[in-house]
Structure 1
């Protein structure tokens, strides 16, 4: 698991992005689809609403190893996390995370028997975060290329268990 500092850093990076690409295994193929975070804090677990009859539910139940990747190309922020997913039908958690945005995807409301959650316990991850402008980044790449070096493009760190 990652340290409290890494959890805080990861949350600072992903909370504004909100939408991550969830990758699951479909037979022998990897499949990814956008999923919207529903939580207000990060403690090492990610939460997403799902239709319990969707393919991703069967994929997670068949192979619980998943990856979630977040990208904000405007701010050059990228986060990739792997973990173990499971399907949750807990009504108290559904009530806790329910919001009007989610309601748009479930016209029968949160009481519908098809409403569920995907819980992902993050085991490890990696992030990249550049705090420089595109022009400065371009200059760093050109300078490093001229010197046959690797450019320093900002923060990059791995976290969690290996």
Structure 2
């Protein structure tokens, strides 16, 4: 298999993010502890930025204000794909962008829609992404590979694993 170019790797990340809607967004507290919470990525083509709706007075917004370095991880076990994106987060009070990203499903968390008091956006600009994509190997082949690795002591082939500068 030929080595992928950086652009091809970025395209793979883009496709994997598109398919995985829910992620875990990890921030750091003031006392240095990591905190992860499930978040829904807004349905917009991934261009290196991820967008989330949040309340302006939430712990999430306070934590990124103090330490903007975050990690966003996706897991899609059906597709056998995993992505870890490291980047910098910021609060983005951008009404036009919020209008563009809004979907009716968000009313479950923000009952007054775009008029919900304290509604804001969080933008994560990706610096790097690492992904594991085993979609092209069957479960049986993967299990055989793990069994073989256990016997031989060699690492199993778990599919494609790349780190990409965004």
On whether the aligned pair clears a TM of 0.5, the verdict is: yes
In 1: Cα distance, 2:108 partner to 2:65 partner: 25
What TM-score, normalized by structure 2, do the two folds share? Answer: 0.90
Between the aligned partners of 1:7 and 1:95, the Cα distance in structure 2 is 27
Moved more, 120-129 or 130-139: 130-139
Q: How far 1:144 sits from its partner (Å)?
A: 2.6
Distance change in 2, residues 1:22/1:105 (3 Å): same
Q: Is the 8 A contact 1:39 1:46 kept in 2?
A: no
TM-score (norm 1): 0.92
Match of 1:143 among 131, 140, 148: 148
Structure 1 position 67, deviation (Å)? 0.3
* Number of residue-to-residue matches in the alignment: 160
Alignment equivalent of 1:154, drawn from 148, 152, 159: 159
Residue 61 of structure 2: aligned partner: 57
Determine which structure has the larger helix proportion and give its number: 2
Question: Structure 2 stretches of 5 or more lacking a match?
Answer: none
2:26 is the counterpart of 1:23: yes
Q: CA RMSD in A?
A: 1.6
Q: Secondary structure at the match of 2:79?
A: coil
Secondary structure class of the residue paired with 1:103 = helix
In the alignment, what sits opposite 1:133? 138
Residue 7 of structure 1, aligned match among 7, 10, 13: 10
> Of 83, 105, 108, which aligns to 1:79?
83
Partner of 1:37: 41
Deviations 1:80-105 (A, max 9, x none): 01000000111000100000111221
How many Å separate the matches in 1 of 2:61 and 2:76? 26
- Structure 1 CA distance for aligned equivalents of residues 62 and 115 of structure 2: 21
